[in-house]
Amino acid sequence: AEENNLLVMEDAAQGLGVFNAACIAPMNVQHVGTFGDAGIIAFFADKNIIMGEGGVVLTNNESTYNKLLYLRNQGRLSSGRFVHEQLGMNFKITDMQCAVGFAQMERLDKITRRRSMVYNWYRKYLADEIADDSVKLMDVPKSNHIPLRCPILVKNRKAVQEYLENHGIQTREMSLPLHRNPCWKHLGYKESDFPNTNMVYESGILLPIHTKLTTFDVEFVCAKIKEAIKKLDMNGYCLAHPVS
């Protein structure tokens, strides 16, 4: 990036409390969002710490920091004087939101452990399906990631989602690949470009995961996934041979 005079903006929206794996760089443990010129962490309603909306920008660049102060407050530094030294936006978050966020920060370790526990319950109750490749659990080896969702890959994703929905289980599909989003159509990519990305999107389901889920909830979800696999005759799905 430095050689090409590029700024590095790190999207760490879901990464509060996540550090690079100590087993990879034991002498250089670093929080995500602090590797580039600036990093962004989000506090939307489905994140590890929630404030309804809003987020923070991390930077150790004084010039960037000062520009952000203007951008967040309508181009002015003082909240009491309506003197706009620059053009800006209104990106401020309220004191009430911050209070809610700070209260959760004190419980971040507990929240992290609970989300990881729920994730491991999914791994436990889907162990047989993972072993025979009818379900692929998308895991992050050698990391201390905090699971925002529990992503799995299955054959006939839409049918599985419909089956789960019919049993009161809400799920989500993966995010539409960037090259298939209408706003990037002008870049000229074909829908068939990036076949591995397309495969993950077409096969991926995001299972519910939050701190209020119990082991009984997760066991129920997994039981319905197993029923769907059996009823839809989807055995044999495997991610072992991605397209090169």
pLDDT in tens, the chain (244 residues): 889 999 999 999 988 988 876 545 556 778 889 989 999 999 998 898 999 889 999 999 999 999 999 999 888 887 777 888 888 889 888 999 999 999 999 999 999 999 999 999 999 999 999 888 889 987 766 667 888 889 999 988 999 999 999 999 999 999 999 999 999 999 999 999 999 999 999 999 999 999 999 999 999 999 999 999 888 864 444 433 333 3
Position 1 in a domain: no
Q: What is the pTM of this model?
A: 0.82
Regarding whether 123 and 92 lie in a shared domain, the answer is no
Question: What is the CATH number for 173?
Answer: 3.90.1150.10
3-class state of residue 205 by DSSP? strand
Is residue 154 within 8 A of residue 134, CB to CB? The reply is yes
Give the domain extent around 131: 109-232
Position 33 in a domain: yes
Position 244 in a domain: no
Q: Sheet of 38-42: strands edge to edge? A: 9-11, 38-42, 55-58
Question: What is the CATH number for 45?
Answer: 3.40.640.10
State the total domains in the chain: 2
